[in-house]
A and B are shown apart, each in its own frame.
Chain A
Amino acid sequence: MIMTTLLKVEKITKKFGDLYANDQISFDVKKSEVLAILGENGAGKTTLMNILFGHYTPDSGNVSFEGNAIEFGNTNNAIKLGIGMVHQHFTLAENLTVLENIIIGRQSIFSLSLPKRQARVRILELSKKFGLPIDPDELVANLSVSEKQRIEILKTLFLDCKLLILDEPTAALTPQETDALFSTIRNMIETGLSVILISHKLNEILAVSDRIIVLRNGSSVGEIDTNSADREKIAEMIVGKKIDYPQKKKIPRKSKVLSLTDVSYKKTDAPNLSSVNLDLYGGQILGIAGVAGNGQTTLAKILSGHFKPTQGKIDFEQAKSVHTSPKSFMDLGVAYIPEDRNSDGIVGDMEIWENAIMTELDDPFFRNSLGIIDKKTSFDRSENLCERYDVRKQSIRQRSRLLSGGNVQKLLLGRWLMRNPKIIVACQPTRGLDEGAIASIQKLLLEAQQKGSAIILISEDLDELLTMSDDISVMYKGMLSNPTQTSSTNKLSIGLQMAGDGF
């Protein structure tokens, strides 16, 4: 079969200040092909896609689509040519129906009515053709994440897109939903469309793509046929060095450190929990799987003292919690890695050393009796922490938000590990990190386990849960399943539970 070139990208360069976000990047996309673009955060994937879709103007380089040069900086032009993009964060109007959302971008603002009838026929046709079942009259607010994604894809198909760009499309999907998405992608390829897939989940990329381009520090470092690709080799290309994957060693369970009995949370400020029971033992890693928004974050906040359960009790090994506050839970030996490390973890505008000692300020070691901070001790501690946990920085006097995501996470985790916590509640500890940083974080958690810490690992990444956990529970609509031993379960059955099976 002769493959015709649909999109040709030639020597695209985009600078932000002194930083090359894209440096001489060239590649092409053929008709009926899935091209995967892989790279760490900051490798330049998003910049590149924003150039293709007309959000940015490159400093130099050309892009042609079906032989015609595209006009940079013009999204409408990109859409007209047939480029469609589904962003990681959806752009749907929640208060409109599916049908209205799909056709809304097409109407002149002066038209008085929407030509709904023809549109409905066409949408149902597309929906059938590509295996994207929808109800055109449902309100978008009532849809699940994967349904919303379907709408986004249909929106681009409705605009006659020939090249679909998907930015981290599986970030919030269950394995079953991911499979469904991939079969849609295959349907699209069969009908002659092309797809650019941006992802950091290697397994998925290997499963669905035809070709892979790896970006690192703004440059393209390699192009591989998926058929001849090797997982570890790609991971190395992404990071630029050999990755030391952590090995899990099981250790015998120690005594119980925490138990939750019939814990419920019924308020309007967060997803609710109903009658959650949980036992946690020293040296155990308990994985908690679940689709985002089913109450995992609420559970984490209860376990870290941020939320007070409306019902039920929390018993720690040494004491009943008498007072619900992050501080008192900390004093009972709880460490909490929040889901969003930038907004809940680090104070970006404070210096690294200031963040490093934030948990320690009640310790007389770091302050004198008048409450004056001992800078020398604090600096030593911070240097020590950064060295021990490999936080790469220029100086501890540097503002923390200049650190990369992986280094921020190492700083936050290191800050807790310095305290030898009894219980670590880790929420999505590796989300959005690159392979190298993921490996370091996982290694640190496993080391803590070896030292006897009990770990609750909340993650949407099933591979991570399966490699790290001793036992796995699934959360669904605020309920928590009984834990199953990791050795006696698999992705498929966890996936079914995530969709509500057995609850």
Chain B
Amino acid sequence: MIKFRLEERAKSPYWLIILSPFIAILVAIILAGFLIVLAGANPFQSYNQLVIGAFGSKNSVAETLARATPIILTGLAASIAFRAKFWNIGAEGQLYFGALATTLFGTGLVVLPSILMIPFLFIMGALAGGLLLLPLVLLKLYYKVDEVVTTLLLNFVVVLLVSYLLEGPWKDPMSLGWPQGKSVIGEGVLPQILSKTRLHLGFIISIFFAFSVWFILSKTVIGYRIKSVGLNAAAASHAGVPIFKTVLIVALLSGGMAGMAGVTETAGLKGYLTLDLSPGFGYAGIAVAMLANLNPIGVIFSGVFLASIYVGADAMSRAMNVPTYLADVIVALTVLCILLSLVFVHYKILFFGAKKND
């Protein structure tokens, strides 16, 4: 009988750290390939269609990057929070709160020149996302209420609130009965950055924030504190790191990122608030953050990757007549494979026989 044992590596080789996510993605794609076969299609042709759908033309690239925009922001939200072991599963709700703030301030209540209006909307969206998280983080800090439960459940509350507002007081009278909010005023709309596509300024902004978050986490005192609180809060507190303040900042930053994802969708992609503004961007952010191993720069790439799967899978399903749900399967498999690959990065596997003769 062959037994094996895991042994921790003192230092993981760099090539392995770099290569492991790619191998994991490859494995996930192969595994999903079997499912495509089960769905009755040729996996090679299907993947070909997927790649064409995601990157085959200027328009599809733009579509992929536009889709990546909110996912990068929610991915950053998860990265910041998870680094501090603050399990914010509520990016979906925070995204919608950001969208509500955009609708409240961006549809005529405040009118500023574009150069001020856009930053203003982002600030309001970030504040809204952060404020939504604030009572939950206080509950956690004062009464040890589990944030996984509260952030997750609040998502549904927020979505119902949005639904109420769009069916009721905030319903746009010009919408021909559709439940949607008033359009964001021209000064607040995020300009296109690629002509005749839906790719808007939000993409650049999300990349800007990815770099900002990277800078905060790796260079500043607050980033250092976030790391120490996440890795060992007890030890950090003994060394005088203010746990309360740090977790509070984490929550505000995390909620803020998710809130801004609501701004990019409302003021960028659609121009108004709808009920289907986010097909689960908040949850996708968690997968994105995991894929990037919580690295903010990595979030850009994993965000684009995830977006390309979703956009490409639509094309694939139309061309090959396979279900679009395959996109979710591929994403889920990728996350699992990445998590598994981390085991190989951190541990060596030693095989040995059960019996040895000397």
Most buried by A among B219, B222, B239, B242: B239
Interface of chain A residues 327 through 379 with chain B (CB within 8 A): 327, 330, 336, 338, 343-350, 354-355, 358-359, 361-362, 367, 370-373
For the complex, is B220 an interface residue (Cβ under 8 Å from A)?
Answer: yes
- With a cutoff of 8 Å between Cβ atoms, the chain B residues found around residue A415 in the complex are 239
B180-188, B197-205, B230-238 - interface stretch: B230-238
CB-contact partner of B240 in A59, A327, A347, under 8 A: A327
Whether B222 lies near A371 (C-beta < 8 A) is yes
For the complex, is A60 an interface residue (Cβ under 8 Å from B)?
Answer: yes
Per-residue B-contact encoding for A242-274, CB less than 8 Å = 1, 0 else: 000000000000000000000000000000000
B26 vs chain A, min Cβ distance (A): 29
CB-contact partner of B7 in A16, A60, A371, under 8 A: A16
Whether A402 lies near B10 (C-beta < 8 A) is yes
Complex formed: what's the CA distance from A59 to B348 in Å?
19
Known: A346-B232, A348-B231. A359 touches B220 (CB 8 A): no
For the complex, is A17 an interface residue (Cβ under 8 Å from B)?
Answer: yes
Complex formed: what's the CA distance from A304 to B219 in Å?
29
Q: In terms of DSSP, what is the predominant structure of the interface of chain A?
A: mixed
Per-residue B-contact encoding for A142-178, CB less than 8 Å = 1, 0 else: 0000000000000000000000000000000000000
Closest residue of B by beta carbon distance from A304: B238
For the complex, is A131 an interface residue (Cβ under 8 Å from B)?
Answer: no
B42 vs chain A, min Cβ distance (A): 46
Closest residue of B by beta carbon distance from A325: B242
For the complex, is B241 an interface residue (Cβ under 8 Å from A)?
Answer: yes
Closest residue of B by beta carbon distance from A370: B220
For the complex, is B164 an interface residue (Cβ under 8 Å from A)?
Answer: no
Whether B232 lies near A354 (C-beta < 8 A) is no
Known: A330-B240, A415-B239. A371 touches B232 (CB 8 A): no
Known: A330-B240, A348-B232. A367 touches B221 (CB 8 A): yes
Tally of contact residues, A, Cβ under 8 A: 33
For the complex, is B276 an interface residue (Cβ under 8 Å from A)?
Answer: no
Whether B224 lies near A343 (C-beta < 8 A) is no
For the complex, is B356 an interface residue (Cβ under 8 Å from A)?
Answer: yes
B236 vs chain A, min Cβ distance (A): 6
B253 vs chain A, min Cβ distance (A): 13
For the complex, is B228 an interface residue (Cβ under 8 Å from A)?
Answer: yes
Complex formed: what's the CA distance from A20 to B236 in Å?
34
Q: In terms of DSSP, what is the predominant structure of the interface of chain B?
A: helix
For the complex, is A42 an interface residue (Cβ under 8 Å from B)?
Answer: no
- With a cutoff of 8 Å between Cβ atoms, the chain B residues found around residue A370 in the complex are 220
For the complex, is A306 an interface residue (Cβ under 8 Å from B)?
Answer: yes
Complex formed: what's the CA distance from A355 to B7 in Å?
26
- With a cutoff of 8 Å between Cβ atoms, the chain B residues found around residue A306 in the complex are 237-238
Whether A326 lies near B224 (C-beta < 8 A) is no
For the complex, is B171 an interface residue (Cβ under 8 Å from A)?
Answer: no
Per-residue A-contact encoding for B69-99, CB less than 8 Å = 1, 0 else: 0000000000000000000000000000000
Whether A358 lies near B220 (C-beta < 8 A) is no
B104 vs chain A, min Cβ distance (A): 32
For the complex, is B67 an interface residue (Cβ under 8 Å from A)?
Answer: no
Whether B239 lies near A359 (C-beta < 8 A) is yes
- With a cutoff of 8 Å between Cβ atoms, the chain A residues found around residue B10 in the complex are 402
- With a cutoff of 8 Å between Cβ atoms, the chain A residues found around residue B220 in the complex are 370-373
CB-contact partner of A17 in B7, B227, B228, B234, under 8 A: B7
Complex formed: what's the CA distance from A335 to B227 in Å?
23
Per-residue B-contact encoding for A307-319, CB less than 8 Å = 1, 0 else: 0000000000000
CB-contact partner of A354 in B222, B228, B234, B240, under 8 A: B228
CB-contact partner of B221 in A325, A336, A343, A373, under 8 A: A373
Complex formed: what's the CA distance from A373 to B323 in Å?
51
- With a cutoff of 8 Å between Cβ atoms, the chain A residues found around residue B234 in the complex are 343-344
Interface of chain B residues 10 through 45 with chain A (CB within 8 A): 10
Per-residue A-contact encoding for B346-358, CB less than 8 Å = 1, 0 else: 0010100000101
B149 vs chain A, min Cβ distance (A): 22
Closest residue of A by beta carbon distance from B8: A17
Closest residue of A by beta carbon distance from B233: A347
CB-contact partner of A347 in B219, B221, B232, under 8 A: B232
Closest residue of B by beta carbon distance from A349: B231
Closest residue of A by beta carbon distance from B237: A326
Complex formed: what's the CA distance from A157 to B109 in Å?
83
Per-residue B-contact encoding for A105-132, CB less than 8 Å = 1, 0 else: 0000000000000000000000000000
Listed from nearest, the 6 A-B pairs whose CB atoms lie closest are A358-B239, A347-B232, A327-B240, A371-B220, A371-B221, A330-B240
Which residues in B have some Cβ–Cβ distance to A below 8 Å? 7, 10, 219-222, 224-225, 227-228, 231-232, 234-242, 348, 350, 356, 358
Q: A343-B232, A362-B240 are in contact. List 6 more A-B contacts (CB 8 A).
A: A17-B350, A304-B238, A327-B240, A347-B231, A354-B227, A373-B219
List 17 A-B pairs, Cβ < 8 Å.
Answer: A306-B238, A326-B238, A327-B240, A344-B238, A347-B231, A348-B232, A349-B231, A350-B227, A354-B227, A354-B228, A359-B239, A370-B220, A371-B220, A372-B219, A372-B220, A402-B10, A415-B239
